[in-house]
Amino acid sequence: MSERDTTGRDETRDEKRAETDAPEELEAPADARATARRLWEAAAGMRWRLVVATVGALGYVAASLAAPAYSAYLVDLLWTNIQAARASGEPFVVALSSGGTQILTFLGIWTVAWVFYTVQVMVMASFAERLNLSLRTRIAEKLARLPLAHFDAHQPGETISRATNDLDKLSEVLQRGLLQLIIAATTLAGAIVMMATFNLRLTVVFAVCVAASVGVTKVVSARTLKVAAARQEAMGVLTGRVEEAYSGRAVIKAFGRERESAAEIRTAADELARTSASADFLANATAPAVRFLVRLSLVTISVMAGGMLLAGQLTVGVFQAFFQYVNVGSEPLCQLSMTVNMLQGSLAAAERVFALLDEVEVEPDPPSPLVVREPVRGQVAFEHVRFGYAPGRPLMRDVSLVAEPGQKVAIVGATGAGKTTLINLLMRFYEVDGGRIALDGVDTRRMRAADLRRQFGMVLQDAWLFEGTIADNIAYGHPGATRDEVVAAARAARVDFFVRTLPDGYDTVLENDAESVSQGQRQLLTIARAMLTDPPILILDEATSSVDTRTEQAIVRAMETLMAGRTSFVIAHRLSTIVDADLILVMDHGTIVEQGTHDELVAAGGAYADLYRSQFA
């Protein structure tokens, strides 16, 4: 809308941001179990993929653990055959009957491990992307059901982040982190069990190393989460500074504030670099500490195992197999800390996604909505309407007015007086707290919102055009319009000449927020869009404010033709454009303080007369 009703709405926006921003900076979920359960519910219909991937991961672990055990048997067999050949003086030759079959079996075990690993990676990637698509689709549908109050209370970047960054993070961690955690935990447990079957004393040494590594990981992880939260906050500040510098580049250059803007970005970047350095150090410090403990245990096990080998308490095959299990079990120790942090971050991201999906939606249409009778006469009545953007902070306490069919109703007042709020309530962008708004005598809350809004055509001060052709933009409210109808609407809005000067005419594609089109031309295109819908009721929010005087005169004539026979609500700042209005509403702090025709209000000598004299003194 053209203005922001500062009474009530800005305070609500600040309060809601204070409530929503703080939790988002944390990289640990508030309720990991509940979030995981909701992810499981969201995966309905695709859980079999997760089951298959988990089976593949467990099969890979089983094959990986079986290989060292089989290698112990294989090495001892080959060693025995070598010793026998040496004793007989014959050369040792590997044949199917003298170890060849066992070697092929050993290769087969690793081949099975590779197959299981490939299956779980492919299936898990499919599962993660399908879950991501499902949640992204739900967000898209949710955005269409959210009230304007939600968007007033949240920065655009917050919502965009839910549908992009958070879901991408969730998908990435599901593809790598979840199965990595399963593989690491089961591999570690399986390696310890297999070690114990070979030698219990050596296994105890490794178990002590595992316990020490878990303690180090726990301490470092707790600190890492705090530093990660600080990094997220610094990232948000830097992103905001960069976005501000980009969107406000013209103003920054106009006032010569380039150096100050760059300094603000540099300060935010320095803070991000500082917190990132701390976070990266802690994230990378765990693995070296764990590896040191592993190397320490490895030295201890080597000394002990060497003595046992010389004493005949261990065979050569068992000796080498045990060290394979030490290597197999030590790697998950380095992965577990990073994997757990990744999973916590992904659950925090999923929690933010579900928070968006849980936002309060617009009030549903009544179970048995009244069918809007066509054609609509266009009588609009506000009957003792009460409304406030925040509970306990009423903006409108008792607003009543009647716009008869075909009347031109002008709404004037200072910024924040409630002019746009009046239109928001009329369109049911917000629901009234008391009283009612009637269209042709029928309470608008008893109608379907879509049916109600179809009766209105809107031209806003902030002209919005989407990426697409000019013809598609004009036909946005009437997708089935023919090219002749589009051209006729453009001519009526005095924009046809401009469009035909473009290389591709009506097929010209508007890109990058239509920056190649001037503000006045954008406004003309939105006026053509409203003309094409041919609505029974019009809402004009200072529709000619962005065009020159000559163009404004042409548009006013076109709009007069369009408004003929239609009820029109015109939000006006320049009173010269509404002196011929059938009814002028003067608003102040959400209340209609005066209403009447121009001559009546000037003669009354009240607020309107003062406002009129201030513009034409």
pLDDT in tens, 425-476: 998 888 889 999 999 888 998 888 888 888 888 887 777 788 888 899 899 8
Residue 230 domain flag: no
pLDDT for res 384: 93
Boundary residue ending a domain (357, 392, 425): 357
For tokens 């929690």, name the residue. Answer: 351
Residue 134 within a domain: yes
Same domain (yes/no): 335, 441: no
* Spacing of C-alpha 8 from chain mean position: 27
Look up the CATH number of the domain holding residue 81: 1.20.1560.10
Of 264, 278, 171, 173, nearest to 232 (Cα)? Answer: 278
Give the residue numbers spanning the domain of 462.
380-616
Residue 399 exposure: Cα atoms within 13 Å on the Cβ side: 34
Rounded to 5 degrees, what angle do the CA atoms 216, 54, 336 make?
A: 10
Q: Which pair of tokens denotes residue 421? A: 């709020």
Are 347 and 417 contained in the same domain?
Answer: no
CATH at residue 435: 3.40.50.300
Q: What is the pLDDT of residue 514?
A: 61
Cis geometry, peptide bond prior to residue 375 (ω within 30 degrees of 0): yes
Do residues 269 and 236 touch, judged by C-beta distance below 8 A? Answer: no
Q: Rg of the Cα trace of the chain?
A: 36
Residues 526, 474 contacting (CB under 8 angstroms): no
Q: In this structure, are 323 and 446 located in the same domain?
A: no
What is the predicted pLDDT for the residue at 25? Answer: 39
Q: Which amino acid is at 591?
A: T
Residue with structure tokens 């199965």? 179
Q: Are residues 590 and 458 in the same domain?
A: yes
* 128, two tokens: 């993660």
Residues 6+ apart with CB under 8 A from 81: 92, 98, 99
Question: What total number of domains does the chain contain?
Answer: 2
Q: What is the pLDDT of residues 142-154, one digit of tens each?
A: 888 888 777 777 7
* Position 597, amino acid: T
Distance CA(132)–CA(321), nearest Å, equals 42
The two tokens of residue 469 are: 């052709």
Q: Both 353 and 384 in a single domain? A: no
Alpha carbon dihedral 368, 373, 378, 381, in 10-degree steps, equals -30
Check whether residue 494 and residue 430 sit in a common domain: yes
Evaluate whether 12 touches 153 at the Cβ level (below 8 Å).
Answer: yes
Q: What's the chain's length in residues?
A: 617
Assess if residue 22 is contained within a domain: no
Q: Is the residue at 596 inside a domain?
A: yes
Work out whether strand 591-596 and strand 468-469 pair parallel, antiparallel, or are unpaired: unpaired
Residues 337 and 446 in one domain: no
Which residues share a beta bridge with 192?
none
Domain annotation covers residue 324? yes
pTM of the model: 0.66
Residue 159's H or E segment, with its range, is helix 156-161
Residues 434 and 323 in one domain: no
What is the pLDDT at residue 585?
A: 92
Rounded Cα gap, residues 598 and 559, in angstroms: 19
485 found inside a domain: yes
CB contact set of 388 (below 8 Å; sequence gap of 6+): 8, 394, 395, 396, 433
Please report whether residue 219 resides in a domain. no
Cα separation, 380 vs 234, in Å, equals 50
- Which parts of the chain sit beneath pLDDT 70? 1-29, 91-99, 221, 225, 229, 283, 334, 337-338, 341, 512-515, 543-548, 551-552, 554-555, 558, 616-617
Tell how strand 468-469 and strand 509-510 pair up.
antiparallel
DSSP 245-309: HHHTHHHHHHTT-HHHHHHHHHHHHHHHHHHHHHHHHHHHHHHHHHHHHHHHHHHHHHHHHHHHH
Tell me whether residue 107 is in a domain: yes
Is residue 331 located within the same domain as residue 463? Answer: no
* Residue after which a domain boundary falls, among 326, 357, 388: 357
Amino acid 16: pLDDT? 37
Residues 326 and 445 in one domain: no
Do 66 and 183 belong together in one domain?
yes
- 346, 386: one domain: no
